[in-house]
Structures are given as structure tokens and as C-alpha cells.
Amino acid sequence: MKLFRQIAAVTAMNLRSLPQRAATSLVIVIGIAGVVAVLTSVLAMSTGMIKTMNNSGRDDRVIVLRNGSTNETSSAINRDSLRLIMDVPGVKRDDAGKPILSGEALRLISLHKKEDGSQVNVVLRGVGPQLPELRPEVRIVEGRMFNPAVNEVIVGKSAAAQYSGVKLGDHVSSRRTTWTVVGIFESGGDSHQSEVMADAETLITSDGRGSFQNVTVMLDSPASFQKFKDALTSNPALSLDVWKERDYYEQASKGISRVISFLAYIVGGIMAVGAVFGALNTMYSAVSERLREIATLRAMGFGAAAMVVSVLAEALLLAAIGGAIGAAIAWAFFNGNTVSTGGTAMGQLIFDLTVSPRLMLVGIVWAAAIGLIGGLFPAIRAARLPVATALRAI
């Protein structure tokens, strides 16, 4: 009980003296705020991308790819396979008894960013006539839906905001074909909002390629997945893989998400080392400035533990303040900002940075770790300082 009273008394004394050491304390606060702001903002890219990709999936939709294909662009499914998929048990049917699915063809087209005019690859997705039933989240917000057998496209809302030359009435080129933009669509903030869509048969005919890249299927219920998958994979006439749509998009985002997170922690770690040295210098200076205090308290019978905890409490408090400021800066300046990432088989993906409460907590934990390390050695020095030495230094 005596120990706790000593710790409380010394810690309170230290914290009351903080305004007198405001300039040196700001070194810790500003340094750690910078670390947390950078770490949190970079990790927000990974979080935002994963959120966008996860929004692209539904539990009652599946994606069928050629066996061994890791993504849509490396897959190819012929028309005979498409017809067999239509008759597989578990496929949902509309009021007319038609299976709700879409053989989809993917191409990459070149567009230019509005901000700097740089050229990027964007997905042109050919979809089937049952798009409204298959993807009810796709909604035209400007213009109209494309017509089949005509070179018309609709552009995702995110793509329309990022790229030039995709307004209503504009023309975009794919290989030997020019397409007219007739509509702008939104799809609940998923990855398809970064794409351009056209009629699949028209797209295949335009460049003379006769196969689809995938078949997207609406199941009659999420529970039908295994029945549907078993029926396809056990058919010797087919060589296909079946993915739950949510799992497919989650897997597609993992690689680049890991790279972004790795870079964030590398950059954050390098900055954290600098912040630790700043905290060490600051806390050593604080201990040196309080030699009279420490000597007096030790002479009065205060133990070493009280000295250690008091210095660590000060360092952790300053670190927590810096962490909270850094997290707030990241949220204020980066949360909701729209960015795009390319270099993947899926072309450009447009998404919003997401500074989630979890990321802010990660930043504050990092701040606490920096404060703990930065305050540990000065705290030990304060505890081990002989009373006679401290008195002579006054």
C-alpha cells in the first residue's frame, strides 16, 4: 500500500511540472504524432482496398473459372461449358425459368487520369443480359443501360470521377472497336465501380475472341454452394474451379494488401526509431533537470520503484497525446480520400482510404510502445541514481 501511495505522489508531482518543461515535452509529442499519422494513413490504403473488394462479394453468388486459373484474366471458358453450367443444380432461376448467370469477358482498355493525364489500364467487363437480376446493386445514376449488339458501354461512378473522356456521349477505344458511353452506374462502392461494362457478346464479337473469362452465377441460396461446386467439379467434361464470390475478391486483394501493410510498418518502424531516440533524449533531460527532486525524494524514503513508474508514466502520457494527435491528423486529412492502385491483373482499382477505429488504436499502441521504450532507460537511471551523487550534482 505504501508503494502505491509513493508512486501516486511522485507521478502526480511529475505531471504537475510538465508545463515547466513544455518545449522539451513537445519533442516527444510531435515526433510520435508524425509516426502515427504516417503509419495510420498508409495502412488506411490497405483497409480501404480490402473494404472495397469485400463489398464486391455476395454469399449467394459464385465465380466459375478455368481449373488452375488464379484470376479472371488468366481464365477461359467456352460456350459448351457455359451451357452445361446453366443446368447445374443450385442455380437460381428467374420467373421465366432462365438461369440467372452471366458469361463474362474481360479486356483492359487505356484511359487517362484527370489529375495528371497519366495513362492507366481499366477493366472493360462484358456482361450478360441478366445483369439486373445477377447484380441488383448495379444501378444507373446517369444516362441509360447499354443496348446489346451495339457498341455501347456504361462507366462506373468511381471511374467516371477519376478518368477523362468517359462522360455521357464520349468514346472509348478497345482494340479495333470504339464504344460510346451511354450511362454512369454505381454498385454500392465495390470494385466494379472502377470498371466499364458492355454487352459480353458484342465485346467478344468485336475482337474475334470466342471464349468468356468467367461465369458469374446466382445461387438459389448460399447453402447451395457445395452442391453446385460438387456437380461441376465431378463432371469429367468440365475442368473448372468454383469460388464463393466473397472469397474470390478477398483472395484477389491479399497480395497487394500485404505489400502495402509491409511498407507501412517498414516506414513506420524507421520513423519510430527516430522518435524513440527523441523520447530518450527528452526523458534523460527531464531526469537531469529534476536531480534535486529525485535526491530529496530518495532521502525522504521514496523507493526506486516509485521513480521508475513516475518517469514511465510521464513518457507514456506524452506518447499517448502524440498518438492521439497523429491518429486524429490521419483521420482528418486522409479518411475518405479517393485513390487508385494499378499493376494488378484486374487493372486499376479505385477506393477510398479508410482510417478505421481499429487503425487509430493500432497507431496509439505504437505510440505507447515508443513511449515505453523511450522512457525505460531514463527511468532506470532515475531509480539507480545514488542519493549522494544526486545531491552533489545540485
The 10s digit of each residue's pLDDT in 126-168 is 999 999 999 999 999 999 999 998 999 999 999 999 999 999 9
Res. 173: pLDDT tops 80:
yes
Helix (H) or strand (E) holding 177: strand 177-186
* Nearest-angstrom CA–CA distance, 65 and 72: 7
Q: Which amino acid is at 57?
A: G
Instruction: Identify the DSSP state of 209.
Output: -
pLDDT value of residue 188: 87
Average pLDDT over residues 88-94: 92
Question: What pLDDT is recorded for position 313?
Answer: 78
Contact 83, 221 (CB under 8 A): no
For the cut 90, the answer to whether the pLDDT of residue 269 exceeds it is no
Residue scoring higher pLDDT (152 or 30): 152
Specify which residues 180 forms β-bridges with.
152, 171
> What integer is the mean pLDDT of 292-298?
62
What ranges do the domains of the chain cover? 2-54+252-393, 68-238
Return the higher-pLDDT residue of 305 and 144.
144
For residue 9, name the pLDDT band (cuts at 50, 70, 90): low
Which is higher by pLDDT, 303 or 28?
28
Q: What local confidence, expressed as pLDDT, does residue 295 receive? A: 60
For residue 195, what pLDDT is reported?
93
Mean pLDDT of the chain: 83
Average pLDDT rounded to a whole number, residues 323-333: 91
Is 30 a residue whose pLDDT tops 90?
no
Furthest CA-CA distance within the chain: 96
pLDDT in tens, 36-71: 888 888 888 888 877 887 777 888 999 999 988 888
Higher pLDDT, 191 or 392: 191
Confidence at residue 303, expressed as pLDDT on a 0 to 100 scale: 62
Tell me the β-bridge partners of 198. Answer: 126, 153
Amino acid 15: pLDDT: 64
Is residue 352 helix, strand or coil? strand
pLDDT digits (tens, 9 = 90+) for 177-231: 899 999 999 998 888 999 999 999 999 998 877 789 999 999 999 999 999 999 9
pLDDT given for residue 7 in this prediction: 61
Query: Is a pLDDT exceeding 70 seen at residue 169?
Result: yes
Residues 362, 368, 371, 373, Cα dihedral to 10°: -90
Q: Which has the higher per-residue pLDDT, 5 or 231?
A: 231
Rounded to an integer, what distance in angstroms lies between the CA atom of residue 318 and that of residue 17? 13
Whether the predicted pLDDT of 318 surpasses 90:
no
